[in-house]
Structure 1
Amino acid sequence: MIKRIIYFLFLAVFFTACSTTKYLPPGQKLYTGGDVKVDDKSIPKKDAKALEDELKTYIRPKPNSSLLGMRIKLWLYYKTKSRKGFINKFLSKYGEPPVLASQVDLQKNSDIMQNRLQNISYFQATVKGDTIGKEKTAKALFTASPGPSYTIRNLTFPNATDNNLDTAIKGTMKQTLLKKGDKYNLDVIKNERIRIDTRLKEEGFFYFAPEQLLVKVDSTVGNHQVDMIVRIKPETPEQAREIYTVRNIYVYPNYSLRDTSLKLDQAKPYRWYNIVDPRNTARPYLFANTVLLHPNDVYSRTTHNNSLNRFINLGPYRYVKNRFEDVTPDSPKLDVYYFLTPYKKKSLQLELLGRTTSANYTGSQINLSWKNRNAFKGGELLTVTLFGSTDVQVGGQNSGYNVYQYGIQTSLSWPRLITPWRVSSSNAYIPRTVLQLGYSSVVRQKLYSLNSFTGSFGYQFKTDEHRMHELNIIEATFVKPRNVDSLYRDSINNPKNNNPALKHVIDPQFTLGPSYAYTYDNTTEDYRTNSIYFRGKLSLSNNLYGLITGADTLAGKDKKLFGTTFNQYIKAETEFRFFHKISSSTKLATRIIAGAGMPYGNSTILPYNQQFFIGGPNSLRGFRPRTIGPGTVDPNPQGNTFIADQSGDIKLEANVELRQKLFSIVYGALFADAGNIWNAKPHQAGGTFGPNFLSQMAVDAGFGLRFDATILVLRTDLGFPLMRPYTPVNGGSRSISPSFKNAILNIAIGYPF
């Protein structure tokens, strides 16, 4: 079989190659690419190989693309060229004309590579090009003779004098990128000028520019070394040599392009800045956290940029325009203007969503959201959302057990920290205080319906672009059954189910306590070879109150708060993701999730809405959602009328996925998942966490496609269960043979992690 495949591929490559060269004009050859050879024995092989790889990237033009030796796009070009019809017109978009050997300018390519070698210390470099041809094809070969590399011997900065600019530049010398003994590199010199300019912008040199720095290079000192002298260009204007401070600051909260006058006569001072807002659209204190520059401050680019970021993230404003005006010729000072164009204050948004799950449910959801972006003229964002959803299964094992949800969610977000004490920060990120209140009703047809009330008050703030903190001073949840059908009560009492969680689902639940979450994320920086995401969260419920009242349910001392038995627990959750970029089109993605909740005092098990679940399109993709665990418990014992959601107090999960771009917006993936959940205390036989937890892992593997259109990612994954954590009561093995009969198709939006 393998021999046949190899033979087929060989024939495909051969015939495709022939079919793309037979159309060439007479006397022309197809260009198949270029190569570079470094001919200098004094250069170590490793360095020579690196030079060859770099110089190869400068060769132009690029040859026709190919896959396994087949020039499919070139073949499409010839087959659809000048042909009519919808299919030919469509396919012609993906074709590309032939790149001919006659289009390669050997001398121009040689000059570019020679110039590059000279820019990276090989001042005596030469490059020569030639072509190597066959009957129908030709390639370019360039031979580079770099010669000796030149290194830095001495580096001189301006002397610290009475000249402010010279002194400031001298003060940046310790952090210089130009190190003695390093090879000369023009790119490093350019970056050094930018580095110095960046530092000067922090010290008030508002009008200075990198181009006003000159780095003189003396290569005549011998022994293949150079001396470098950093100095200011003589023609640098006096304005660029001055240290500027701030005089006045003006904020325009309701600016439009039609405004042509600065209206300074209408400016109202507030603390250290002035508000120009004739219509009183914003309260003056709104900008106390955004205007970070103060009168008489030395201009700082970082402080200025942080202010702009804060204005943008404030919430009510669509655009921020900034202007500096040099106002005092005899004394270097700046007036600062911030022009803010607001969003429409109120908006109404309707969302209609359709979805399908690997649990064979098909559903729809409607969200109606009303927003007020400046509710009380202090930048407050008030959001009220009404929602409703249905999830229906037809012909599956849970057919008839449809799920309906509806409710309301309100949120009020202040762009500042509301605390008894004053808190100030000067980074680029606006801290927020958030109050949330919500109600939802869940109706599981034929089973039960629940009312849920939630509320929280806390803070969200970032210390830098990667780190996010979320501190809720108080989180409260109250869940109470509205109706429980006899079928569900009979299932609870059915000894064959042996699942105390069935009753736990409909028990009244009352949690009250703080929580803290920390997130670190640098995955948005695409240039990184390795990137990580980490999130950790700690939640508490009624810990102090339970301790004061002496709550101990095992000793018969159940305690109540507001007439309801409260939950008492400590819960910790962590998620770690690691991404490794193998190439520009291939990435390895991994994830580990670990969570544990410890009920105590007034509780013997975590409240249902705080428990862990596993399985589904964003978890173990070879198993249906919430059908695994706890431990070795069989989720579908004989005699059970429906499959209940499986939950636990402890969770471990690991995922690995190899992602590969195939073509256009289509990506492929190979994946494997493993994990399970457990109870912290013995409630079910085989469901408690113990030393043999690794042997109780569920395992799956599979493959999938992702259609990444940037704004939307449609994902299809086919997961094959390989190992279940339990032995079926009707016989069989824990291991499962991979087959399409057992496979689970997951259709979802977005990547799983």
Structure 2
Amino acid sequence: MKTKFIFTAFIFSLICSYSCSVKKFIPENETLYIGSNLELESEERIDDIKAIRSELEGLIRPEPNGKVLGMYFGLWAHYKGSKERPGFINKFLKKRFGEEPVYFSKVNPQNTEELMFNRLENNGFFYSETSSEVNRGEKFTSVSYKVKLSEPYLLRSLSVDRDSLEVDKEIIKLIEDSPLKSGTRFSLSKMQAEKERIDEALKSLGYYNFNPNYLIFEADTNVSDKREFDLFLRFRSNVPQSGIIPYKVRNIRVFPNYSVMEDEDRLDTVSIGGKDFIQGVEVFRPDLLEQYILLEKDERFSPQKSRLTSNRLSSIGTYRFVNLRYEEADDSVTHGNLDANIFLSPLTKRSIRAELQGVSKSNNFAGPALNLVYRNRNLYQGGEVFSLTGKFAYETQIAGGELSGLNSIELGLKADLVYPRVVFFIPIKERFSYSVPKTKMSLGTEYQSRGGLYRLNTFSANYGYFWNANRFVFHEINPISLNVVNLSRTSPEFEEILDNNPFLRRSFEQQFIAGINYTFNYDKLSGRFRRHGLFVGTTLDIAGNGLSLANRVTGGAEGTFLGLNYAQYGRGDLDLRYYFRINENHTIATRMFGGVGLPYGNSESLPFVKQFFAGGPNSIRAFRIRSVGPGTYRPESSGVAAFFDQAGDIRFEGNIEYRFPLVSILKGAVFMDAGNVWLMNENEALPGGKFTSDWWNELAVGAGVGLRFDIEFFVLRFDFATPMRIPYLPEDQRWGNSLDVRSRTWRRERLIFNFAIGYPF
């Protein structure tokens, strides 16, 4: 078999080499440019020689045609598709993969030499030498460039050429922290960066009209016998007076309901905190809106406060557009004046949205779901967002067997009220955060009827805060989180299931969950050109301690509150994701997730809604949703007991996925997932489910391929996966997969299809 494989691969490579040969297509009077190499010589040690080489190599133009496995496939596709009668396949290959030929006639080595010489002088290597040699063949030509670096010029001193004005004194202070220190190599790019640093610093000091082009560096190389130079920073001639004086904010005008069609005669002005709020019918209370504006009258112009003010106003959630404009007013000799105008265009206040969904689950349940959402974006004229969501879902078992006839009905109603500020029993006014902290109050109820087996009523209430500390960091804390689960009706059949599985019974017991939870996210994954992306997310959830303490103080019955059993547990998880972008279109995405829940006190297991699950489109995709574990436990293959999800107190999972483009918006992926869930305590009804030191030998592993339609604002994902390691099999049989795609039985049992919206991580 090995010999046959090697022979087949050899024959295939010969066919590809012949079929993708481009020599016969190259015109007689042309040769194909196949690239260049660069040789650097230097008598002195250059610390950043790799950066210099990279910069010089970036000047070599044009880029030669690309190769795939040593063959000019793109060029071959272009030639084949450019024939007089190319055919459908060749046309497609040219359109999708074709590359225009790069002939040596398009290459100008002398011009490249001059560019290299100029770039070297810009980096302090004056009087360097550049040369090139053309290596011409019958059909292919390359170029060899040789650069001999001279001894670079190093900075001896940096000074400002004048010091009479206030702006001169500010620049002198800034120069003290300049990265242009003695011994720094001459570099035009570093000088430009220094001017931009000074410009940014002066803008923050109120110099509204300052421009980095007002500054100029002059170098004096005749300062010693060594290759040294002195650097002088001065202003160009004819710099306008407005560019070198600080500006103050004279007036602040806010238009909370701005419209170009609004009649100015019908507008009223209310002044609060030195700010004028101009509107007709009051759409936003000025005393509340004033808290979001960081600008202050008679303060110096600040680009940071301007930016933060725009961010804060945009984060309220009430406005479609936020436009902060400055108008220059009369200037004095020592400073200028600015009028700040803030134009706010509101979103539509009320909206109703209906969502009709089709739900299909791995346990062969399917059915429709309807969501109705009413939203008021400015309930009390303070940016409050009120949402009322109603949900109806019906699912029925579409397969035959013991499970036929089962159905599920879910009804839900939830109200959310979000205040774009901190609501606390003590007035709190924050002024300098990246965005506005928000207060969220939620109240909801849900009714579930599962196939005549049981009815479950859930009531929830939450009170908390969430905010963005900066572009990448998000916090959410809910000091009040209440959840009441009431199993109102059970059938004899379901009671038998609970009797056989005490763990499941304890999960479904009527419980009162009262606790506190905190979520932290650090998200630096986005950005097409960011080579390394990182996400860190964690959630901490603690319940029951406050009620237990209250019972001890009041002498109440331990483990109950208002006649309800309450849950005691601690739960935490950590989600780590790392993206390595090979280039703009190719990415290796990885994730590692770990979570632990510890029931204690009067609780022997986590509440069902707080347990961990594994398997499904956003987890281990080679296994159906919530069908992995706990541990090596193997559930019943049929019967009503299979109607319930498999869960655990501990979860560990790792994923890796290679993402690449196919055609237009169609992307591809190859992935592997591994993980499982375990129980903290032994459970006779779930043998093999307890976490042990041999946990790593109980991991489920799967691999597969995926197709994704990436349409910018959303992604449709189709993943096909198959198990590589099944944890509930005997230890010597867990690894392995026949991969018999042609077998209908194999496809039914081992090929798992997942459809989802968005990437899995």
What is the TM-score with the length of structure 2 in the denominator?
Answer: 0.88
Query: What is the rounded CA distance, in whole Å, between the counterparts of 1:366 and 1:70 in structure 2?
Result: 55
Query: What is the rounded CA distance, in whole Å, between the counterparts of 2:590 and 2:538 in structure 1?
Result: 17
Q: 1:347 aligns with which of 343, 348, 351?
A: 351
Partner of 1:479: 485
Partner of 1:139: 142
2:388 maps to a residue whose letter is V
Q: How has the CA–CA distance of structure 1 residues 560 and 247 changed in structure 2, closer, same or farther, with 3 Å as cutoff?
A: same
Measure how far apart 1:748 and its partner are: 2.4
Q: Deviations over 1:530-584 (max 9, x none)?
A: 3321122222223122233259xxxx96643333222222222222223334455
Check conservation: 1:698, 1:723, Cα contact below 8 A.
Answer: yes
Q: 1:15 aligns with which of 10, 13, 19?
A: 19
Partner of 1:455: 461
Are 2:607 and 1:607 aligned? yes
Q: How has the CA–CA distance of structure 1 residues 579 and 230 changed in structure 2, closer, same or farther, with 3 Å as cutoff?
A: same
Q: How has the CA–CA distance of structure 1 residues 682 and 184 changed in structure 2, closer, same or farther, with 3 Å as cutoff?
A: same
Are 2:418 and 1:413 aligned? yes
Q: 1:745 aligns with which of 743, 753, 761?
A: 753
Q: 2:284 aligns with which of 282, 285, 289?
A: 282
Q: Deviations over 1:198-233 (max 9, x none)?
A: 111111111111111112223344533332222222
1:380 maps to a residue whose letter is E
Check conservation: 2:330, 2:337, Cα contact below 8 A.
Answer: yes
Partner of 2:315: 313
Are 2:241 and 1:241 aligned? no
2:375 maps to a residue whose letter is K
Query: What is the rounded CA distance, in whole Å, between the counterparts of 1:667 and 1:513 in structure 2?
Result: 43
Query: What is the rounded CA distance, in whole Å, between the counterparts of 1:76 and 1:287 in structure 2?
Result: 62
Matches within 5 A, 1:400-439: 401-419=406-424, 420-439=426-445
Query: What is the rounded CA distance, in whole Å, between the counterparts of 1:483 and 1:17 in structure 2?
Result: 75
1:163 maps to a residue whose letter is L
Query: What is the rounded CA distance, in whole Å, between the counterparts of 1:734 and 1:85 in structure 2?
Result: 49
Query: What is the rounded CA distance, in whole Å, between the counterparts of 2:716 and 2:204 in structure 1?
Result: 45
Q: Deviations over 1:459-504 (max 9, x none)?
A: 11222222211111211112223543443333334x4xxx334324
Measure how far apart 1:432 and its partner are: 0.6
Q: How has the CA–CA distance of structure 1 residues 576 and 396 changed in structure 2, closer, same or farther, with 3 Å as cutoff?
A: farther
Matches within 5 A, 1:320-339: 320-330=322-332, 332-339=336-343
Check conservation: 2:503, 2:605, Cα contact below 8 A.
Answer: no
Q: Deviations over 1:266-324 (max 9, x none)?
A: 42202231101112121112323321011121211111111111122221111122221
Matches within 5 A, 1:378-389: 378-389=382-393
Partner SS for 2:496: helix
Check conservation: 1:122, 1:146, Cα contact below 8 A.
Answer: yes
Matches within 5 A, 1:607-626: 607-626=607-626
Check conservation: 2:551, 2:557, Cα contact below 8 A.
Answer: no
Are 2:124 and 1:124 aligned? no
Are 2:173 and 1:167 aligned? no
2:483 maps to a residue whose letter is T
Partner of 2:743: none
5+ long unaligned stretches in structure 1: none
Q: How has the CA–CA distance of structure 1 residues 615 and 53 changed in structure 2, closer, same or farther, with 3 Å as cutoff?
A: same
Check conservation: 2:42, 2:148, Cα contact below 8 A.
Answer: no
- Residue identity over aligned pairs, in percent, reads 33
1:31 maps to a residue whose letter is Y
Q: 1:440 aligns with which of 437, 443, 446?
A: 446
5+ long unaligned stretches in structure 2: 741-745
1:574 maps to a residue whose letter is L
Q: Deviations over 1:515-543 (max 9, x none)?
A: 22222222225554433211222222231
Check conservation: 1:38, 1:146, Cα contact below 8 A.
Answer: no
Check conservation: 1:36, 1:52, Cα contact below 8 A.
Answer: no
Check conservation: 1:546, 1:602, Cα contact below 8 A.
Answer: no
Q: Deviations over 1:214-259 (max 9, x none)?
A: 1222334453333222222232211111121222211011112446
Query: What is the rounded CA distance, in whole Å, between the counterparts of 1:566 and 1:615 in structure 2?
Result: 29
Q: How has the CA–CA distance of structure 1 residues 549 and 348 changed in structure 2, closer, same or farther, with 3 Å as cutoff?
A: same
Partner SS for 1:609: helix
Q: How has the CA–CA distance of structure 1 residues 531 and 399 changed in structure 2, closer, same or farther, with 3 Å as cutoff?
A: farther
Query: What is the rounded CA distance, in whole Å, between the counterparts of 1:200 and 1:365 in structure 2?
Result: 58
Partner of 1:56: 57
Measure how far apart 1:382 and its partner are: 1.6
Are 2:384 and 1:377 aligned? no
Query: What is the rounded CA distance, in whole Å, between the counterparts of 1:111 and 1:338 in structure 2?
Result: 51
1:547 maps to a residue whose letter is L
Q: How has the CA–CA distance of structure 1 residues 396 and 653 changed in structure 2, closer, same or farther, with 3 Å as cutoff?
A: farther
Partner SS for 2:466: strand
Query: What is the rounded CA distance, in whole Å, between the counterparts of 1:537 and 1:166 in structure 2?
Result: 51
Query: What is the rounded CA distance, in whole Å, between the counterparts of 1:210 and 1:50 in structure 2?
Result: 26
Query: What is the rounded CA distance, in whole Å, between the counterparts of 1:606 and 1:5 in structure 2?
Result: 55
Aligned residues: 738
Query: What is the rounded CA distance, in whole Å, between the counterparts of 1:270 and 1:732 in structure 2?
Result: 77
Measure how far apart 1:426 and its partner are: 0.9
Matches within 5 A, 1:48-87: 50-81=51-82
Q: How has the CA–CA distance of structure 1 residues 80 and 154 changed in structure 2, closer, same or farther, with 3 Å as cutoff?
A: same
Query: What is the rounded CA distance, in whole Å, between the counterparts of 2:252 and 2:397 in structure 1?
Result: 62
Measure how far apart 1:666 and its partner are: 4.7
Check conservation: 1:13, 1:68, Cα contact below 8 A.
Answer: no
Partner of 2:646: 646
1:193 maps to a residue whose letter is K
2:38 maps to a residue whose letter is K
Q: How has the CA–CA distance of structure 1 residues 423 and 700 changed in structure 2, closer, same or farther, with 3 Å as cutoff?
A: same
Matches within 5 A, 1:201-212: 201-212=203-214
Matches within 5 A, 1:658-737: 658-661=658-661, 664-684=664-684, 685-727=687-729, 733-737=733-737
Partner of 1:28: 30
Check conservation: 2:551, 2:558, Cα contact below 8 A.
Answer: no
Partner of 1:562: 562
